[in-house]
Amino acid sequence: MRGGGADAVPLEDLGALHAPLAAALEAAARRVLGSGRYVLGPELAAFEREAAAAFGVAHAVGVSSGTDALLALLMAEQIGPGDEVVTTPLSFVAAAAAVARVGARPVFADVDPGTLNLDPDAAAARLGARTRAAIAVHLFGRVARTAPLEAACAARGIPLYGDAAQAAGAADAGGRPAAAVGRAAALSFFPSKNLGGFGDGGMVLTDDGALAERLRLVRVHGASPRHHHVVLGGNFRLDELQAALLRVKLPELARWTAARRALAAGYADALGGTPLALPPTDPGCVWNQYVVRVPDGLRDALAAHLGARGVATAVYYPEPLHLQPCFAALGHGAGDFPVAEGACREVLALPVFPTLGAARQARVVAEIRTFFEDRGGAGRLADRGRPPRG
């Protein structure tokens, strides 16, 4: 039987990922439950040290989510009303929403058609008199090319930040860790991220010690000492339980990343010659998602074909941020950022989780090839140019 069933291919399988770690995870949880310390205790302090070392920065501040990492960062930097922050229209909503939530204005620039990351030249061109910062999102696990944007920000004396929620452990072409791109980077420990927790969690990573201190203040309602509120903050703490569990998973991240990279290389080999546009193969990418582009308006048909055969896919993202109702006040319309809008019509994420394995990946590939064969025969598969419509 096709469809669901034992040979179904999900988009992720956290149960399989965690099964070999069950004893260690249970021991960590028991340690916290018995400790009587549930917030801002030794597990968080240890996890922050271990994460800073693993991700290649001096300071790590654990917070309540990736969204709150971005929000706390903007609050710690006192970005607010009257300020503008340049960022991408093709991402999860969190970065642009954090900008708006502190009262500043998100200013979008279009994305690069190859990487789907913020186009650094287009972004640099959007820096203006009110710009207080830029946020590059390292989408799908690929570190954004930022050099021209960083130079333009530096020339104006404003910071670049990284949204590395999907890019834990990633590096750019020169080997620079994602966490070290810009003044500070936000990580997410949402369960589906490359380093996922057991609930919500996040982190801000930075080499700037003064900024790390301000973040620690903002994380506890700006209180120092307790009940004396120096600045406005929030409750942005990462729980001891999450920190203890994440400490068990952190040492496994490199191995899981290697598995994702092997799968990405497998797709690059096996899907060449199909009409799909494949993502660039840079070695530092950590493949939180393997996102192809399906031409000729066939994206939804391919997704339906795969779904009917038990292969899960997802669309990241179906709607660009500048056209979302929550940003209507920014006054954008269709056509403002055509590369991002075109991507939203064509992107499709294929299964790429660490325990997928070659056999299930081969099934994904076979079903994709069948889809295109059914529509145009083998000749079409060999044609990597624009095939005729029909």
Ligand X SMILES: *Cc1c(COP(=O)(O)O)cnc(C)c1O
Q: Which residues bind ligand X (CB under 6 A)?
A: 65-67, 91-92, 94-95, 137, 163, 165-166, 188, 190, 200, 202
The CA distances from residue 350 to 2, 361, 367, in Å, are: 18, 9, 12
Closest residue to ligand X, based on beta-carbon distance: 66
Q: How far is the CB of 137 from ligand X (least distance, A)?
A: 5
Amino acid at position 307, single letter = G
CB 99 to ligand X: min, Å: 12
Tokens encoding 46: 């240890």
Q: How far apart are CA 234 and CA 107, in angstroms?
A: 25
Q: Which of 353, 350, 348 is nearest to 116 (CA)?
A: 348
Of residues 94 and 311, the one with the C-beta less far from ligand X: 94
Which residue, 190 or 287, has its beta carbon nearer to ligand X?
Answer: 190
Q: Closest CB to ligand X among 284 and 310? A: 284
Under DSSP, the state recorded for 389 is P
CB of 334 to ligand X, least distance (A): 23
CB of 246 to ligand X, least distance (A): 12
Nearer to ligand X, 92 or 372 (CB): 92
Smallest distance, ligand X to C-beta of residue 130, A: 24
Pair 366, 271: CB distance under 8 Å: no
Joined tokens for residue 39: 């917030």
Q: Smallest distance, Å, CB 196 to ligand X?
A: 9
Q: Where are the alpha helices (DSSP H) in the chain?
A: 14-18, 22-35, 42-55, 66-76, 94-101, 120-125, 147-156, 209-218, 240-249, 253-271, 299-308, 338-346, 357-382
Nearest distance from residue 282's CB to ligand X, in Å?
18
The residue (of 89 and 310) whose beta carbon lies closer to ligand X is 89
Report the residue number, 118 or 137, with the smaller CB distance to ligand X.
137
- What distance lies between CA 352 and its chain's CA centroid? 14
Choice between 65 and 274, CB closer to ligand X: 65
Given a contact cutoff of 8 angstroms between Cβ atoms, the answer to whether 80 and 130 are in contact is: no
Total residues belonging to the chain: 390
Nearer of residues 137 and 217 to ligand X, judged by Cβ: 137
Smallest gap from Cβ 225 to ligand X, in A, equals: 29
**Within 13 A of 39's CA, how many CA atoms are on the CB side?**
9
What separation in angstroms does the CA of 289 have from each of 69, 120, 140, 145, 222? 21, 22, 5, 18, 36
Read off the tokens for 48.
């922050």
Residue pair 194/217 in contact by the 8 Å Cβ criterion: no
State the nearest-atom distance from the C-beta of 332 to ligand X, in Å: 20
Surface-to-core class of residue 34, CB atoms within 10 Å of its CB (0-12 exposed, 13-18 middle, 19+ buried)? exposed
Output Rg (C-alpha) for the chain, integer angstroms: 22
97 vs 268, beta carbon nearer ligand X = 97
